[in-house]
Structure 1
């Protein structure tokens, strides 16, 4: 079965990392028309920051994705056109309580996302999801 996974080692992510490290020329009059949009870069970062394991069984696949801090209701699982499985969610920072301030902020907030191209013969109607707190 042909099964392609967008991984961190792929040329796409190396190219995106290079583009994200480039200086922003938009401050001057020299617009870069081939530059990626902000949402494209944000999505690329979200995909790079969302680890996943993929297991193949005789008649199915299992995707194990770490999305710490999200509850099952915060995670969307959908199949887009061209058999692309999209798993996404967004982690937000908790509101500060009055009288308290952050001394250190290390936990990542923002969008979490992964995309996988499913085989052409995949039964997309049978896609299901299970959310477990703290892992398997």
Structure 2
């Protein structure tokens, strides 16, 4: 028995790609039947869930990396809450609807918009006062340096005097 029967290959379901298409179509149908506040909630939840992040550890730091193409500096926030929780949040806005009045009509909108937020509890060896963030070519990298480990205490050497 498969752990994830929804994605299991089954003669009745077809290939995995067909199954994924069915799930996406089901989501589209659910969105069409919901009222606007329900659709907005689903869109925002979807945007938050789609903000994928890579978290890696190097010998000297922890790095949090996210693809945020098209976002300006003002649309992204990096904060430290409760002394050890890194919060990366922001909002991706939809293009203005100026062109829609001129006969432009969207048939499908798949790029996520709305608010996003990710929280990470930082380990005890994080240098919280030295956190840095940079965004280059649409890739946000937040670097949290590590506090170097303490040197083990060396035993005190007592000089022995011989008379």
Q: TM-score range by the shorter chain?
A: 0.5 to 0.7
Distance 1:127 1:43, change over 3 A: farther
Counterpart in 2 of 1:88?
A: 89
1:99 aligns with 2:138: no
* Residues 24-62 of structure 1, C-alpha deviations (whole Å, 9 max, x = no match): xxxxxxxxxxxxxx98x8876544211111111112111
2:123 match: secondary structure: coil
Describe how 1:14-29 pairs up with structure 2 within 5 A. Answer: none
- Is the Cα contact below 8 Å between 1:67 and 1:112 reproduced in 2? no
Contact 2:51 2:116 in 1 (8 A): yes
How many residues align? The count is 99
Partner residue of 1:124 out of 128, 131, 134 = 128
Shift of 1:102: 2.7
Q: Following TM superposition, by how much is the alpha carbon of 1:122 offset from its aligned partner in structure 2, in angstroms?
A: 1.6
How does the TM-score come out when normalised to structure 1? 0.60
- Structure 1 residues not aligned, in runs of 5+: 1-20, 22-37
RMSD: 2.8
User: Based on CA coordinates, which of the two structures has the bigger radius of gyration?
Assistant: 2
Within 2, Cα distance between the matches of 1:100 and 1:124?
A: 52
Indicate the structure whose relative CO is greater, using CA pairs within 8 Å and at least 6 residues apart. 1
TM-score, with length taken from structure 2: 0.51
Deviation per residue, 1:70-105 (Å, 9 max, x gap): 122211001100401001110111211241433222
